[in-house]
Structure 1
């Protein structure tokens, strides 16, 4: 059975959308398949996971797996896509509840992806970090 057009597409928007779908499904293998071997994934300063992570395994271990450990139902809801060549900006929101406090979040976020050769080579997050930290204390 062949891949669907969407699954095989190297269009920047489709690659980024597959990343969100894999993340929402908790499919870290499929998520890693959207990332370049030398990906640079930056979580914003002030965010609990702040820093730049490299390699697909580094991204999933230091971001997605840690979010899953600390939050219940962490989800990035991708709402609006703005595409300019290899640049994809997604206006989204995070929803979750913190495991330690039970406090929920529903915060707006912007993600900037750079996609080359059908893979995400760079990611940068923009989010109201105070709202996330408030839910943790």
Structure 2
């Protein structure tokens, strides 16, 4: 096992979550989530709401994204760490399966990591750009 794979440093845990998501490795993604995780997708986002427990995050967020989008990728480029808080500035890119429209939108994610697991997530994104990509003729 590599040092990175075993690290409980908050930024490393968050990075492993992004890598697992990009690879479609839901088991590895689940391994980064606390049993009582609270995962909030922003109001106005197609998957808006707060989901609890790893199964809730996987079924209501990750699996739904895979159903509606091709090549959904979070390009995590800047990490700001303050203790257990990790803020990630990133970009979503994907192609909507229903419309064929692409997205390329900036996002910010706030994670709280305790004991080597993500206990809280909150998304901030321009939801209008995501919805526009889901609208035919956009």
TM category (shorter chain) comes to: over 0.9
The alignment's TM-score, normalised by the length of structure 1, stands at 0.98
Pick from 35, 38, 48 the counterpart of residue 36 of structure 2: 38
Secondary structure at the residue paired with 1:56? helix
Q: Does 1:84 align with 2:85?
A: no
Secondary structure at the residue paired with 1:134? helix
| Residues in 2 aligned to 1:54 and 1:76: alpha-carbon distance in whole angstroms | 21
Secondary structure at the residue paired with 1:102? coil
Match of 1:102 in 2: 100
Q: Does 1:70 align with 2:95?
A: no
1:5-27 Cα shifts (integer Å, max 9, x gaps): 00000000000000000000000
Number of aligned residues:
135
Secondary structure at the residue paired with 1:47? coil
Q: Which runs of 5+ in 1 are unaligned?
A: none
1:41-63 Cα shifts (integer Å, max 9, x gaps): 00000000000000111101100
Root mean square deviation, CA, Å: 0.3
Q: Which runs of 5+ in 2 are unaligned?
A: none
TM-superposed deviation, 1:35: 0.2
Secondary structure at the residue paired with 1:133? helix
The alignment's TM-score, normalised by the length of structure 2, stands at 0.97
Q: Does 1:136 align with 2:134?
A: yes
